[in-house]
Structure 1
Amino acid sequence: MATSESESKGKIITCKAFVANAPGEPLVMQQILVQPPQKMEVRIKILYTSICHTDLSGWKGESEPQRAFPRIFGHEASGIVESVGEGVKDLNENDKVVIVFNGECGECNYCKCEKTNMCEKYGVNPMKRLMCDGTSRFSTIDGKLIYHFLNSSTFTEYTVVDSGCALKLNTEDILSLKKLTLLSCGVSTGIGAAWNNANVHAGSSVAIFGLGAIGLAVALGAQARGASKIIGVDVNPEKLTIAKAMGITDFINPRDEEKPVVEKIREMTGGGVHYSFECTGNVNVLRDSFLSCHEGWGLTILLGIHASPKLLPLHPMELFDGRKIEGSVFGGFKGKSQLPNLATECMKGAIKLDDFITHELPFDEINKAFDLLIAGKSLRCLLTL
């Protein structure tokens, strides 16, 4: 049981967390110590958290050349601010917040630039494993350091994050907060890729490679922008039903096709799509995605996490055909200043978040949630603390 909130302000909290002690080993529930927030930090009581493939990759030890364990993973979550550190002016105790892994300080050159959503201080950095001052806010009961993950670490009853990574939401409805948890990563990344990075236009054609939560969010974003043909590519036939419900107009399973996927898509679209989105993290799929775009104007948005050291499978001269490729981080959204508009649209029903929540489990069953994701049976499994 976590320390009482009324007694916790400014003190160390003892609470329950799921800790990864080694790559690929089941997460272990244990009591940990959580330090008070330091300057420009907030401590948050987590209410809901979920798992995405980035957590899976980090847990397996795939995404970093130097693995940091023990560690608390998780980066999609919502909760309530328990206490604030020195200098924090835009957040207060009891504020309802969504945690974002790609933060925004609002003061650096990156934040002031309209052409990027990166932040010099709080931007996502997969190699970062401690707070900005080089220390951790987590430890075991006997004082052993526990590492942070992606500016977030949400598989715990309480976490500490930089204030630039916590987005205040104007909602008194806890059920709304539950749904808006999905804006922490996957849904925002997919919709933003369609709206901000690609700027999908009405009547356009789109191909999406990989129909997990991010790929399906791309589909919804493209549908909202009026795309006329949205082709989904996935090797899991079970994705067909939900894909159709989320805007996919045509479904291709490469294992069922006699022709290469690129050739199939070009035939369907008169030479290729306007926009393609690579959501798998597979370099061979990236090549298919790129070549599925139309010569002269096709744009590929790279969303998949490529942990492998393999380089882009493109010949430089292929870029002279007029196709372009662009990477997307958090869908191009500036977390603090732009994401509230998406939250408002979701609350109005423009984007149906409920469809992404395929499973709900208590926090204690987090390892089952990992199994569901690995088996390809869930989009988002929401864990309730």
Structure 2
Amino acid sequence: MAGFDICPDSNHPPENGHATAGKVITCKAAVVWGPEEPFKMEDVEVEPPRPMEVRLRILITSICHTDLSAWKGENECQRVFPRILGHEAAGVVESGEGVEGLGPGDRVVPVFNGECGDCRACRSEKTNWCAGYAVDPMRSVMRADGRVRFYWVGPDGTHRRPVYHFLNTSTFAEYTVVDAACVVKTPPAAPLNRMCLFSCGVSTGVGAAWKTADLKPGSSLVIFGLGTVGLAVAEGARLRGADRIIGVDINPDKFAKGKEMGITDFINLNDCTKPLHEVIRDLTKGGVDYSFECTGNRDALREAFLSTHQGWGLTVLLGVHSSPKFLPLHPMELFGRKIVATVFGDFKPKSQLPDLINKYLKGEEKLNLDGFITHELPFSEINQALHLLQEGKTLRCLLHL
């Protein structure tokens, strides 16, 4: 693998996997020890992969709102600490155990929603919900043996404590171990500092527009929440010829970036003097064809649902709802409108994501990936990246390991 460039602006050497394969690696990881505690750079031991697992060297990672909610411990299933968060990244394979199609040095993106390729769900065209490796927010250990692969060792060398996994990936570490079903190989020429966006946000939003909604040219839609996922929906809708794209947010600073991504109309919720769905119905003479709820807010979900046109309106749920409360819908309101949720934009990650990546690299799908990258920082400044996300000042802050 001599001469293997990780990405255009990287000085990292290639990973050959020979010197470290089968051995415990000690590396830096951003460990969170409790809810809302600052990430702490720790030395952790990373065990070798078990059968059907791979160990990855992470080179680029970023923080998503799902990481933020887990860091806060917003619901019971997320209160597992100490933990290594992170699920949007790119890197190279260091080693694998009993894995076909992946070898040392391969460029890859880890994905939180896996695909085994063999189960009934993976063989079906109706779903990307793998029976064995679908996203499971309750899981904090590896599937093979119910154990972790990360261990913190105290300064005296005598205290060894398990550090738990997150969303099948745990990318806030220089090395991580993931199930092979949760790794997607990318072309050798693919720049990893752009490929990492396909790990979560861009794929989820674009897929929601293209695959979940199957949005048609000339359509109208409204997007609730103009973070990375919401703007990825807009990008997907723009590329599919949507006629009117309405963006809703409480932060008007996001509107300039939204316009860049194809949004035609903006609504600041704080400026509304009547229910938002009435504003949207008035604006569109009856409602939009599609609505996309990307905030994880129950009130926003209801407004998104009622914003669609009676008779054919479709609402796509993308936001992560941590509240235990049920949907704020009356059963009779479902007559004439539909609602559906999507995970990873309904992409089957291993069998369908490479096609999207290849089309992007060839210029056949003109995704504006650069528009999502607003900041870049060294991995050691992860707490600064978290702060930027909390303040709504960044879409994706790339962290270089």
Are 1:128 and 2:139 matched, yes or no?
Answer: yes
Q: How does 1:176-325 map to 2 (within 5 A)?
A: 176-320=191-335, 322-325=336-339
For the aligned residues, what is the CA RMSD? Answer: 1.4
Shift of 1:177: 1.5
SS in 1 for 2:349: coil
Are 1:172 and 2:186 matched, yes or no?
Answer: no
The answer to whether the 8 Å contact 2:250/2:268 transfers is yes
Aligned to 2:11: none
Spell out, residue by residue over 1:196-228, the C-alpha distance to the aligned partner (whole angstroms, 9 max, x if none). 100000111010000000000000101111110
The answer to whether the 8 Å contact 2:55/2:177 transfers is yes
Tell me how many residue pairs correspond in the alignment.
380
Q: Which has the higher mean CA deviation after the structures are superposed, 283-292 or 252-261?
A: 252-261
Aligned to 2:372: 356
SS in 1 for 2:351: coil
Decide which of 50, 59, 62 is 1:47's aligned counterpart: 59
SS in 2 for 1:293: coil
Q: Provide the rounded CA distance (Å) in 2 between the counterparts of 1:381 and 1:63.
A: 25
Alignment-mate amino acid for residue 83 of structure 1? S
Q: Provide the rounded CA distance (Å) in 2 between the counterparts of 1:365 and 1:135.
A: 29
Shift of 1:260: 2.3
Decide which of 121, 127, 136 is 1:110's aligned counterpart: 121
Aligned to 2:112: 101
The answer to whether the 8 Å contact 1:101/1:151 transfers is yes
The answer to whether the 8 Å contact 1:58/1:64 transfers is no
Spell out, residue by residue over 1:147-203, the C-alpha distance to the aligned partner (whole angstroms, 9 max, x if none). 000000000000000001110011335xx1110100000000000000010000011
Alignment-mate amino acid for residue 217 of structure 1? A
Aligned to 2:12: none
Alignment-mate amino acid for residue 99 of structure 1? P
Q: Provide the rounded CA distance (Å) in 2 between the counterparts of 1:346 and 1:367.
A: 31
Q: Provide the rounded CA distance (Å) in 2 between the counterparts of 1:361 and 1:66.
A: 26
Shift of 1:377: 0.2
Alignment-mate amino acid for residue 319 of structure 2? G
The answer to whether the 8 Å contact 2:106/2:188 transfers is no
Percent identity (aligned): 60
SS in 2 for 1:49: strand
Aligned to 1:156: 173
Are 1:81 and 2:98 matched, yes or no?
Answer: no
SS in 1 for 2:262: coil
Shift of 1:342: 1.4
Shift of 1:92: 0.7
SS in 2 for 1:116: coil
Spell out, residue by residue over 1:272-302, the C-alpha distance to the aligned partner (whole angstroms, 9 max, x if none). 0000000000000000000000001000000
Alignment-mate amino acid for residue 74 of structure 1? G
Shift of 1:5: 5.2
Aligned to 1:346: 360
SS in 1 for 2:184: strand
SS in 2 for 1:7: coil
Spell out, residue by residue over 1:61-93, the C-alpha distance to the aligned partner (whole angstroms, 9 max, x if none). 11434621000000001000000112x111111
The answer to whether the 8 Å contact 2:88/2:171 transfers is yes
Q: Provide the rounded CA distance (Å) in 2 between the counterparts of 1:342 and 1:159.
A: 25
Decide which of 70, 80, 83 is 2:82's aligned counterpart: 70
Shift of 1:7: 2.4
Structure 1 residues 343, 156: closer, same or farther in 2, change over 3 A?
same
Q: Provide the rounded CA distance (Å) in 1 between the counterparts of 2:359 and 2:189.
A: 17
Structure 1 residues 66, 381: closer, same or farther in 2, change over 3 A?
closer
Decide which of 22, 31, 52 is 2:43's aligned counterpart: 31
Aligned to 2:389: 373
Aligned to 2:10: none
Gaps of 5+ in 2: 1-14, 154-158
SS in 2 for 1:167: strand
Q: Provide the rounded CA distance (Å) in 1 between the counterparts of 2:106 and 2:47.
A: 19
SS in 2 for 1:264: helix
Q: Provide the rounded CA distance (Å) in 1 between the counterparts of 2:124 and 2:105.
A: 32
Structure 1 residues 378, 318: closer, same or farther in 2, change over 3 A?
same
The answer to whether the 8 Å contact 2:21/2:48 transfers is yes
Q: Provide the rounded CA distance (Å) in 2 between the counterparts of 1:16 and 1:181.
A: 20
Are 1:327 and 2:341 matched, yes or no?
Answer: yes
The answer to whether the 8 Å contact 2:201/2:229 transfers is yes
Alignment-mate amino acid for residue 148 of structure 2? S
